[in-house]
A and B are shown apart, each in its own frame.
Chain A
Amino acid sequence: MDFSSFNPMVLAAALMVAATPILLAAIGELVVERSGVLNLGVEGMMITGAVVGFTAAVTTGNPYLGMLAAMAGGAALSLIFGVLTQLLKANQVASGLALTLFGLGFSALLGQGYAGVVPPRTAKLDLGLLSDIPVLGPILFRHDPMVYVSVAIVVAVWFWLTYTRSGRILRAVGENHDAAHALGYRVLRVRILAIMFGGACAGMGGAYLSLIRVPQWTEGMTAGIGWIALALVVFASWRPVRAMLGAYLFGGILVLQLNLQAAGIRIPAEYLAMSPYLITILVLVIMSSGRARKSLAAPGSLGKPFHAAG
């Protein structure tokens, strides 16, 4: 066993990068669920974002255009979900699954011929003095800009949900759609917008994976991260800042596991690779067994269909 590759500082720095795709997808889904909709298609939207972002970045040579394209792609796919569940009243669980199954196929189709292609590089952000701080500098301040964008999104979502009128309306719609409708709020409009925001975030998360974290396109490269993001929303009790902490926790586990594999520890790689999924399950169990708290945290109308009578 080789512990030389085991530098805690490198590990901590890699953690933020590993966590960013999960965080982006989770914060998007969090907003969707706060509006009362359960979109299980995160995995499908992420992989779509990954491939759309990748092809767009390779074609234009600009990773940021790739990111934007990925957001558009994720949002477009999520719009199908929005139309199905909100306008056509389809079952949310089944529609979310459909999104994932479709996204996996669609991304494989679109990504043909892009395997092995190297995407344009995303420059690390130069934060000058901050980057030079010993220890904290490399851990916190020597990343690509998207890491900071994701943190900014979390903070913005938190502020928006807590302090703004439109954020309050979104929470109201998610808490009790009948009441929101009676007060004159457009339940379906709010929800479709939320769903598209979730799609854009998931798409961005996927593109981060294919453009920055890996960076490469391979079929099925999201490998369940979308599902982990869904679990993370439960873990976070639907609160943005907790979602961020949770994402970094998962990021840490991912990085640790990869490093253990690299260090040649005497557990077969396949078993180490299981650990993120097993730990996610464990976390879900712990979070959901505190029953009283859960019932307070979950949005009241989560997953229920809304049809305005009259």
Chain B
Amino acid sequence: MTEPLLSIEGLTKAYPGVIANSDVSFSIGKGEIHALLGENGAGKSTLVKAVYGLLRPDSGQMLWRGQPYAPAAPTQARQAGVAMVFQHFSLFDALDVAENVALGMDRPPPIRKLAARIREVSTAYGLPLDPSRLVGELSAGERQRVEIVRCLLQDPHLLIMDEPTSVLTPQEVDILFRTLRQLRSEGRSILYISHKLEEIRALCETATVLRHGEVVARCDPREQTARALAEMMVGTALHRPERPAHKPGRVLLEVRDLNLRSPYAFGTSLKDVSLTVQAGEILGIGGVAGNGQDELLAGLSGELRSRADAVRVKGDPAGDKGPTARRALGLLCAPEERLGHAAAPDMNLTENALLTGAWREKLVRRGFIDAGRARAFAERIIRRFDVRTPGPHVAARALSGGNLQKFVIGREILQRPEVLVVNQPTWGVDASAAAAIRQALMDLAQNGAAVVVISQDLDEILEVADTFAALNGGRLSAARPVKGLTMEAIGLMLGGAEGDSDAAA
């Protein structure tokens, strides 16, 4: 192989209290799809931010085609030929596609010319886009296209993709991979960040594995099993949570024709959503981000109210009740966003325990808070769910994502819910915490609760759920048993193409 396109040598970056990258070295050749593999918090984001000029490493150097490369700002990185597709946070909802693309370029042509270019390039790479549409109205997959097209218009030599498939249906993933292979054949290099092992094995020819900020392995992922890769990534052998198949029980949660208007600016309204969950059953609800997940959770938690009989808990109508009354009935929830929704960032863990446990755990007597009981409840959650923290006096925002998530899920589970609804229970959580959370959900179902797991991670759903339904554009498909479902069938359900499943069932 000739001189690498980019080589990173001994890169180190520390934050107060954590070393995000420690002496990281690797290189990417021309026309290579290079995987950067690691758990959440392994230091992948820090590394690519350094490559893209969003932050400066403390030590170490980078070489671009053999020349020293130290971008002080993304502009300089873009000038060198580096482009990046972000996982989150880089589109503007209220601006149209062309304006969004222009904002990602250093010297954009006039908008009208740019619009023509967008049509041309997006079609050429199989990702068609209408430049005049508002980005806020696009689906998650289309939004990603905007990002990719924005990069392609700058004719990049290196394209960085941060967890690109987390927002895509299996069919959309296939389209994306086709585009990426086309780019490789044009001699462009791709730095592909993911923790999804099968994708990396299908797409990449080299992989660098990060753990706790250090490079722990380099390999050709095509020659490794997914299990071997996982062990490199996590460091220990993972045990897959297991439990016996569920036996049908009485229906604990029943939703009939739930219609809700989304209160969010570019949200998705729910249309005629119906589902039933029995005691001991875990219903997995899959779907690409932005298809009504937040609204569904809000509709079940009581943050959004509906007709009384649209939501029934153990047969009791609850649709017109608020969160407190629904908790009293035994319906508990854990929303996706930990900081600011499931927990108050600046409040300590005792106060956060009080947040949902006030009445069910009798932490409040005649309106007055029983501080001792509240602290004891928080301590119980910390102990039972192995939350790593100095104690219940610590502010929620000081906890790592995994620990806070264990606290949030633990807080609901310890209140002995009869129905538990969770949204993205392991999003942004390290593997061991994720395994613990999934095990806890399965144990809960095993003990007779009905559990709804809303998740964008299909692997997660297939692992824990008994039945599967797909959310698409605010509509929920009929549920099907997970056993025997193929990826292709799931993809069709997620794309909203099924509809005759009732006939099939």
Contact = CB atoms under 8 A, between A and B. Distances in A.
B108 A176 contact: no
Contacts of B103: 168-169, 172, 180, 183, 185
Contacts of A179: 86, 89-92
B428 to A, nearest CB: 14
B94 A175 contact: yes
A307 B457 CA distance: 30
A310 B15 contact: yes
B92 A295 contact: no
B203 interface: no
A179 to B, nearest CB: 4
A215 interface: no
Given A168-B102, A310-B49, A184 B74 contact: yes
A172 B102 CA distance: 11
Contacts of A120: none
Interface string B65-89: 0000000011100100000001011
Given A310-B54, A310-B55, A176 B92 contact: yes
A169 B95 CA distance: 11
A180 B89 CA distance: 8
A295 B91 contact: no
B74 A183 contact: yes
The secondary-structure label for the interface of chain A is helix
Nearest to B92: A175
Nearest to A310: B55
A289 B149 CA distance: 38
B94 A168 contact: no
Contact of B95 (A172, A178, A185): A172
Interface string A182-204: 11110000000000000000000
B74 A176 contact: no
A168 B94 CA distance: 11
A310 B15 CA distance: 8
Nearest to B104: A183
B53 interface: yes
A239 interface: no
B99 A176 contact: no
Contacts of A175: 92-95
B505 interface: no
Contact of B54 (A169, A172, A184, A295): A184
B46 A182 contact: no
B90 A168 contact: no
Nearest to B75: A184
A171 B75 contact: no
A171 B95 CA distance: 8
Interface in A254-310: 295-296, 299-300, 310
A76 to B, nearest CB: 29
Interface string A230-258: 00000000000000000000000000000
B504 interface: no
Contact of A178 (B46, B89, B93, B94): B89
A60 B15 CA distance: 55
B121 to A, nearest CB: 19
A175 B95 CA distance: 8
B237 interface: no
A300 B90 contact: no
B501 to A, nearest CB: 33
Contacts of B15: 310
A176 B89 contact: yes
Contacts of B124: none
Contacts of B75: 184
B1 interface: no
Interface in B293-322: none
Most chain A beta-carbon neighbours within 10 Å: one of B49, B55, B92, B99: B92
Contacts of A169: 103
Most chain B beta-carbon neighbours within 10 Å: one of A176, A180, A185: A176
Interface string A144-180: 0000000000000000000001001101100110111
Contacts of B88: 178
Contacts of A178: 88-89
B265 interface: yes
A296 B134 CA distance: 11
Given A165-B108, A310-B15, A182 B92 contact: no
Contacts of A184: 53-54, 73-75, 78
Contacts of B104: 183
A300 B95 CA distance: 11
Contacts of A172: 92, 95, 103
Nearest to A291: B263
B102 to A, nearest CB: 7
A300 B89 contact: no
Contacts of A168: 95, 99, 102-103
Given A171-B92, A176-B91, A184-B75, A165 B102 contact: yes
A168 B102 CA distance: 9
A182 B46 CA distance: 13
Interface in B99-126: 99, 102-104, 108
A179 B91 CA distance: 6
Contacts of A165: 102, 108
Nearest to A176: B92
A296 B104 CA distance: 23
Contacts of A183: 74, 90, 103-104
B163 to A, nearest CB: 14
Interface string B367-404: 00000000000000000000000000000000000000
A183 B150 CA distance: 11
Nearest to B13: A310
Given A165-B102, A169-B103, A310-B54, A182 B265 contact: no
A7 B236 CA distance: 88
Contacts of B55: 310
Contacts of A310: 15, 46, 49, 54-55
A57 to B, nearest CB: 41
B93 A300 contact: yes
A182 B89 contact: yes
Given A168-B102, A172-B103, A296 B94 contact: yes
A300 B134 CA distance: 14
B123 to A, nearest CB: 25
Contacts of B99: 168
Nearest to B55: A310
Contacts of B102: 165, 168
Contacts of A185: 103
A100 B15 CA distance: 39
A175 B88 CA distance: 15
Contacts of B89: 176, 178-179, 182
A101 B73 CA distance: 40
10 contacts: A168-B95, A179-B90, A179-B91, A179-B92, A180-B103, A182-B86, A183-B104, A184-B53, A184-B73, A300-B94
Given A175-B94, A184-B54, A310-B46, 14 more contacts: A168-B102, A171-B92, A171-B94, A172-B92, A176-B91, A176-B92, A180-B92, A182-B86, A184-B78, A185-B103, A295-B265, A296-B265, A300-B93, A310-B55
The 9 nearest A-B residue pairs measured at CB:
A184-B74, A178-B89, A295-B265, A175-B92, A179-B90, A182-B90, A179-B89, A310-B55, A172-B92
